[in-house]
Structure 1
Amino acid sequence: MSFHLVVGHGPAGAATARLLAEQGHEVRVATRTGQPAAHQGAAPVDGVEHLALDASDPAALTAAARGAAAIHGCAAPPLPQWAERWPALVSSLCAAAEDSGAVLVLLGNLYGYGPQADPDRPLTEDLPLAATGPKGRVRAAGWEQARALHEAGRIRAVEVRASDFFGPGVTDGGHLAARVMPGLLKGRAVAVLGDPDAPHSWTYLPDVARALAEVAGEERAWGRAWHVPTLPAASVRAMVGHLAAEAGTAPVAVRRLSPVLLGAAGLFSPLLRELREVRYQFDRPFTVDASAYEAAFTVRATPLEEQVKATVAWWRERLDA
């Protein structure tokens, strides 16, 4: 087995590190603190070593990556700081990949596509990265930088793009996470951003980790972006219904947060202000097509029943603790 460096220990980084260790790889996780993320639990994972470093420092990251077979870029600055800090992070990841010869596996999202003229058309990897907002542009530019270096023969790079995370370990973000699950488990009504009946793609976190691990060892995956296998789109209301049924608290009312109140709250909340750029993802259909990945590789989306059961169990354990 080989050495993998995972940069970041948020939900995706933690899940990827755990999976790689279970597969028998040597795994090191690089974060600013050098400690497991609190929301992932303080208990160490066998086979995972934690390193304290600033991933945007090319010298520090390059030193940590020497000997690695793959570098998994799962870190992200706080959302309000993306435009300012993302370029340095991507440049550092690319420098470490070039020095070490490791495959650079970037975890991407769907912001780079921007709003589509036809929201009923599922997103595919061949769409142009035409985002008009700063967060979408900076994410698109990061991948274009890595791809240009790949095409120049200086690094080997691949990007794996996921829709909104869902599942055990996902606590940040309001959709089907911290804003929804605690109340849902008590049978309380939940309030959500956007249209609760619009079709939306939810990418299950363990499937993200499995895709990141798979493409690292698949040379034919490198040099392009892929969508993580994701189940057919389901509205927020439908997903809340599935979760509440599993929790035994159904029916749970789902209400749309007032756009007026959200606008007012944005005056005081940097996070809500930043979310204005991507509100279109929840105000209308937002779906992803992962058929290209499924035609080429082995990872498939976890069945919905398993997703829901594991998510409810994880949140119950977390809230009980």
Structure 2
Amino acid sequence: MAVHVILGKGPIGGQTADELVALGHRVRVLSRSGGTSTGTVEHRAVDAGDAVALRAATADADVIYNCANPAGYHLWNQEWPRMASALLDAAESAGAVLVTMSCLYGYGPAHRYMTEETPLEAVGHKGRIRAGMWQEALRRHEAGRVRVTEARASDFFGPHATANAVFGERVVPRIMAGKGVQALGDPDAPHTWTYTPDVARALAVLGTDERAWGRAWHVPSGPALSQREFAREFARVAGVAEVKVGRLPWWLMINLLGTFQPALRGFAETRHQWDLPFEMDSTAFTAEFGVKATGLDEAIAGTLGWWRGRAA
């Protein structure tokens, strides 16, 4: 039985663990706080930046999944370099495949429609960090030192996508209650959204199919919808009247709220993702592995069902 080790127990790490267990794999989840182990998932408390502890906890791993993230954008410069280096070293030492969960920041503001062939031309520090992580991983892969692959997704919605998701706790519960919401940037700019269970399913594929290794892949995602259109679809599936969609001023989001929540200031670098069209093509994944994005109605219904369960 293969050993699959997941770093991070957040919205993606937890669902990836469930997906791998369903496929019959032995699963271990590493996180700073640890957790209660069950008959199917082992939990250990490990700091991802502690290279020695990480190597010990992954020594028997066949596949390592990087589903971790620093607690806020303001910590990326401090935490990602040591975490990324420790993960690569651990995978190389164990002879394990390293699957990294990533985003679209590395492409930078010059690109409105992104495929896996789009150049990594980020100009902001978060985008450069993400691009650099992949470039170093690929360098080691091409040198024959470690096998790597990377999943890139757009903005999450779905089960467990809460505080850090645009269509999370700030928006979805209000739509369910028939209340108006505020959009970031242009509410009518087309935008790709990625359903969290689709991310978990994609990661499980990338970790277990050698065709995936040595390149990055976009997670299967549905057609782009503006925030106004997305809110309208949520209201329709929820069975409530269409809600009003306003616009949250950037000065309020970044300058005022960012004074009390430093992580919000990080949105300044990604304003282009909300002020302009931001579309991701994920057809390569579907063509290669036969995995499609969950249908929009099913994904929204799954999201609403999770939020209703959480409220109960």
Separation (CA, whole Å) in 1 of partners of 2:289 and 2:44: 32
Q: Which position in structure 1 is the counterpart of 2:14?
A: 14
CA RMSD between the two structures: 1.4
Are residues 217 and 69 of structure 1, via their aligned partners in 2, closer, same or farther at CA, if it must alter by over 3 Å?
Answer: same
Contact conserved, 2:155 with 2:165, CA < 8 A, in 1? no
- Secondary structure of 2:130's aligned partner: helix
Amino acid at match of 1:299: V
- Correspondence for 1:164: 155
| Structure 1 residue matching 2:118: 3-state secondary structure | coil
2:291 maps to 1:273: no
Q: Map 1:96-135; keep pairs closer than 5 Å.
A: 96-116=90-110, 119=112, 122-135=113-126
Alignment of 1:301-312 (within 5 A): 301-312=293-304
Report the AA paired with residue 261 of structure 1.
L
Counterparts of 1:180-191 in structure 2, within 5 Å, are: 180-191=171-182
Q: State whether structure 2 residue 230 is matched by structure 1 residue 258.
A: no
- Give deviations 1:187-217, integer Å, cap 9, x for gaps: 1111121111110000111111111100112
Confirm or deny: 8 A CA contact 1:18 1:45 kept in the other structure: no
The CA distance in 2 between the partners of 1:300 and 1:186, in whole Å, is 31
> How many residues are matched?
310
2:279 matched to which residue of 1? 287
CA displacement at 1:264 relative to structure 2? 3.1
Letter in 1 for 2:147: R
* Bigger mean CA offset, 45-54 vs 286-295: 45-54
- The one-letter code sitting in structure 1 at the alignment partner of 2:109 is P
SS at match of 1:130: coil
Are 2:118 and 1:91 equivalent residues in the alignment?
A: no
Offset at residue 103 of structure 1 (A): 0.4
Q: Does residue 223 in structure 1 map to residue 214 in structure 2?
A: yes
Distance between the aligned counterparts of 1:32 and 1:81, measured in 2? 15
CA shift digits 1:2-44 (9 cap, x unpaired): 11000001111011011101111110000011027xxxxxxx7
Residue 69 of structure 1 is matched in structure 2 by: 62
Alignment of 1:47 with 2:21, yes or no, is no
Give the letter aligned to residue 59 of structure 2.
Answer: R
Cα offset, 1:45, TM superposition:
6.0
Letter in 2 for 1:168: P
Looking at structure 2, the residues matched to 65 and 111 of structure 1 have their Cα atoms a distance apart, in angstroms, of: 28
Distance in 1 between residues matched to 2:232 and 2:216, nearest whole Å: 33
Q: Write the mapping of 1:143-222 to structure 2, written as runs, cut at 5 A.
A: 143-222=134-213
Instruction: Give the C-alpha shift of residue 174 in structure 1.
Output: 4.4
CA distance in 1, matches of 2:250, 2:67: 32
Q: 1 CA distance for matches of 2:309 and 2:208?
A: 34
Question: Contact between 2:232 and 2:242, CA under 8 Å: does it hold in 1?
Answer: yes
Which whole-Å deviations, capped at 9, do the CAs of 1:237-283 have from their partners, x for residues lacking one?
11111111222222111111123323333333312211110011011
Equivalence for 1:23: 23
Q: d(CA) in 2 for partners of 1:19 and 1:123?
A: 27
Query: 1:197–1:155: structure 2 CA closer, same or farther, 3 Å change rule?
Result: same
Partner of 1:41: none
Which structure 1 residue ranges, 5 or more long, are not aligned? 37-43
Question: Sequence identity of aligned pairs in percent?
Answer: 49
Match of 1:2, as an amino acid? A
Q: CA deviation at 1:141?
A: 0.7
Distance in 1 (CA, whole Å) between partners of 2:209 and 2:224 is: 28
Distance change in 2, residues 1:45/1:16 (3 Å):
farther
Alpha carbons 2:10, 2:68 under 8 Å: kept:
yes
If the length of structure 1 is used for normalisation, what is the TM-score? 0.93
Structure 2 segments unaligned to the other structure (5+ residues): none
**Residue pair 2:156, 2:165 contacting (<8 A) in 1 also:** no
The answer to whether the Cα contact below 8 Å between 2:17 and 2:29 also exists between their aligned partners in 1 is yes
User: Residue 156 of structure 2 aligns to a residue in which SS?
Assistant: strand
CA contact (8 A) 2:5 2:28 kept: yes
* Correspondence for 1:40: none
Superimposed CA distance per residue, residues 41-100 of structure 1 (whole angstroms, 9 cap, x where no aligned partner): xxx765111100111111111111122110000001122101111011111110110111
* Secondary structure of the structure 1 residue equivalent to 2:266: helix
